[in-house]
Chain A
Amino acid sequence: MSDTRNVWIFVEQDGGRIADVSIELLSKGRELADSLKSELWAVLCGASVDGLAQTLIAQGADRVIVAQHKELDPYRTLPYARVITRLVEERSPYILLFGASPVGRDLGPRVASAIRSGLTADCTDLQIGDYESKKEGVVFKDLLMQIRPAFGGNLIATIVNPHHRPQMATVREGVMRRAESDATRKGSIERIESVFEKSDLALRVVSREMRESKVRLKDSAVIVSGGAGVTGAQQFDLLRELAQVLAGEVGASRAAVDSGLIGHEHQVGQTGTTVRPRLYIAAGISGAIQHRAGMDESNKIIAINTDPDAPIFQIANYKIVGDLADVIPMLITALREKAK
């Protein structure tokens, strides 16, 4: 185990655009590095990414390692895993973070397996703290506390990785707050050579069809979400109508997405999108922590549920005990009347 206490962020980019989650991770990574009194390094891979390094420094990186190679665009597991694994083995970072995006969730475990370290998926918080192992009778100082909902979101678990380095975690987009960019920040840029083995190139990307998501949950000021209590497409149309009246977006709990009533891109929660709208309306959502983890920082929360004991009411500012099929039309009417 090496003495460096550096915090590394794997920076995801596609076509020269840095992923939002990577910027958010740099903000969190900066905090972690500061509390460890160490450096924040960003690892950037791609075919033509040199120009992005300065942006990462402005976002908090002390050093940017740039791996530029034609085989690194578009993203493929094995060439990326080769670059990251080699770097980690050479430089021994203390912490290595990935976005919990399709790329991060593909690459993170591959790298963790290769270097035999632990990886915690979908963390909702990261802190530096001490861990006392009663079994070993040792206190591990300044470990990464990897905090995530567990067991279907009914519990919050704190995971540590006391014996292996780096301590690795993935974090979903929108969970960490993005810090302001500071163009005056100084940092260094290091360019590295990438060498691949033939077996790294076993997979070829034939074609890609990427689309901009039409659902903009993250940026929406008002979100109207439905859960297991929404029965049938007709009731979901009510939610859509309410969202339209409020110029908001439609969200959903996992139960609603699993039932096939609405697409995954609408899902709010630990395995969906984390949102902080001005107004969040939860209709027929019981409020498993899996869901609450993605919306409890909303400015105002209105909960509509037939069950007066539903956990969602405990975080709601406005509690409406009633059937959403009755309540929502009344709410729509009230909104339309006031708008006149």
Chain B
Amino acid sequence: MPYKSVVLIKQVPDTHNITGKVMTDEGTIDRAALPAIFNPEDLNALEMALEVRERHGGTVTVLTMGPPSAAEILRESLYRGADGAVLLSDRRFAGADTLATSYALALAVRKLGAFDLVFCGRQAIDGDTAQVGPQTAEKLGIPQITYAECVLALEGGTIVVKRALDHGTETVECSLPCLLTVVSSANEPRPASVRRRIANKLAATSMEYKALLAKWPEFGSEEALDAFLTERKLKIPVWTAAELGAEEAKLGLAGSPTQVYKVNFVVLESAESRDVPPTREGMAALVDELMREYIVG
């Protein structure tokens, strides 16, 4: 029996690879210096959805909320095997905390029509909150299976999933539709396929038309480009707040209960410290001192 899956993905700054260059002289973060990447566990979520489709048939649609540049990870999803992609982009989404984000995502999932499974990564590396999955499930009124590692069975309207917890595993059985948040140990995400990359190379949102025309002036006009992409099913739809039928008060900064009061750079406490030369003598003296102070031995 085929299943209709939706995968929620996010483009994030690569916070795992922050170097000194990212900090400006004024002590702020230069976001432009951070590469934007596909949130790693969202790739695991996409892989799990693609595996379900391979085994049971159905469709996989990816959905992200973000700036126009987030179309990049939607294309990457198409290269890896997604059937369709939608970008939620609107200034009114900006500044959203996890609650406002989940509100917009849940509306978008509903707008896609009937669904069986929603997948997302356990957490995004820019915030590490792991909150958007459960909050979206609550807004959709469906059960959630967090820390999903393996789909053990999927039959009719029931899924059996193994969850990877801190101190063990749990196997749960749940009725569909439901939402899964997927951990990195779940699978090895497939690379983009060359064939799919060629087929979807031109996939774009209308927000990218200007840049595309600059690159391929032979299309002539935005209208001609739009007609071309629409005909070939390469147009990635962009949904705004109005198209979601969203209440403005629940979106973006306005819809976010949490506010950032202040942000501090960490003041490093200068502990009483000493240089120890990296030599045999240095190590011997260090061990002596640690033993005298009963730190070791």
Contact = CB atoms under 8 A, between A and B. Distances in A.
Greatest chain A CB density within 10 A among B23, B97, B98, B259 is at B259
B54 to A, nearest CB: 24
A152 B146 contact: no
A45 interface: no
Interface in B241-282: 256-266, 268-280, 282
Interface stretch (B67-75, B121-129, B190-198, B202-210): B121-129
A203 B173 contact: yes
Given A255-B16, A331-B286, A157 B262 contact: yes
Contacts of A159: 258-261
Greatest chain A CB density within 10 A among B22, B134, B272, B290 is at B134
Nearest to A106: B146
A160 B257 CA distance: 8
B164 to A, nearest CB: 9
B181 to A, nearest CB: 9
Contacts, number: 244
A108 B133 CA distance: 12
Contact of A112 (B131, B168, B264, B288): B131
A81 B135 CA distance: 12
A315 B272 CA distance: 8
Interface stretch (B42-50, B137-145, B223-231): B137-145
Report whether over half of chain B's contact residues are helix, strand or loop; otherwise say mixed: mixed
Contact-size category for B: 35 or more
A298 B293 CA distance: 15
Interface string A95-138: 00000011001101110111011111110000000010100000
Interface in A203-227: 203-213, 222
B16 A320 contact: no
Contact of B257 (A151, A154, A161, A334): A161
A118 B99 contact: yes
Interface stretch (A55-63, A186-194, A288-296): A288-296
A222 B297 CA distance: 11
B15 A152 contact: yes
Interface string B18-33: 1010110000010000
Contact of B18 (A146, A150, A205, A288): A288
A309 B173 CA distance: 52
B21 to A, nearest CB: 12
Contact of B160 (A151, A163, A206, A311): A206
A202 interface: yes
Greatest chain A CB density within 10 A among B22, B98, B133 is at B98
Given A159-B261, A315-B269, A113 B134 contact: yes
Nearest to A300: B295
Contacts of A204: 172-174
A213 B296 contact: no
Contacts of B259: 133, 159-162
Question: What are the 6 A-B residue pairs with the smallest beta carbon separation, nearest first?
Answer: A152-B15, A322-B278, A118-B257, A118-B258, A314-B268, A210-B168
Contact-size category for A: 35 or more
Greatest chain A CB density within 10 A among B165, B174, B266, B272 is at B266
Contacts of A114: 138
A105 B178 CA distance: 18
B103 to A, nearest CB: 9
B280 A106 contact: no
Contact of A334 (B102, B172, B283): B283
23 contacts: A77-B134, A102-B147, A109-B133, A109-B134, A113-B139, A116-B257, A117-B99, A119-B131, A120-B258, A122-B128, A206-B171, A208-B168, A209-B169, A210-B167, A211-B167, A296-B269, A300-B290, A314-B269, A320-B277, A326-B278, A330-B280, A334-B280, A338-B284
Contacts of A141: none
A152 B134 contact: no
A338 to B, nearest CB: 5
A299 interface: yes
A92 to B, nearest CB: 15
Given A102-B166, A119-B98, A204-B173, A157 B260 contact: yes
A80 to B, nearest CB: 12
Contacts of A78: 143
A155 interface: yes
Contacts of B287: 331, 334-335, 338
B151 interface: no
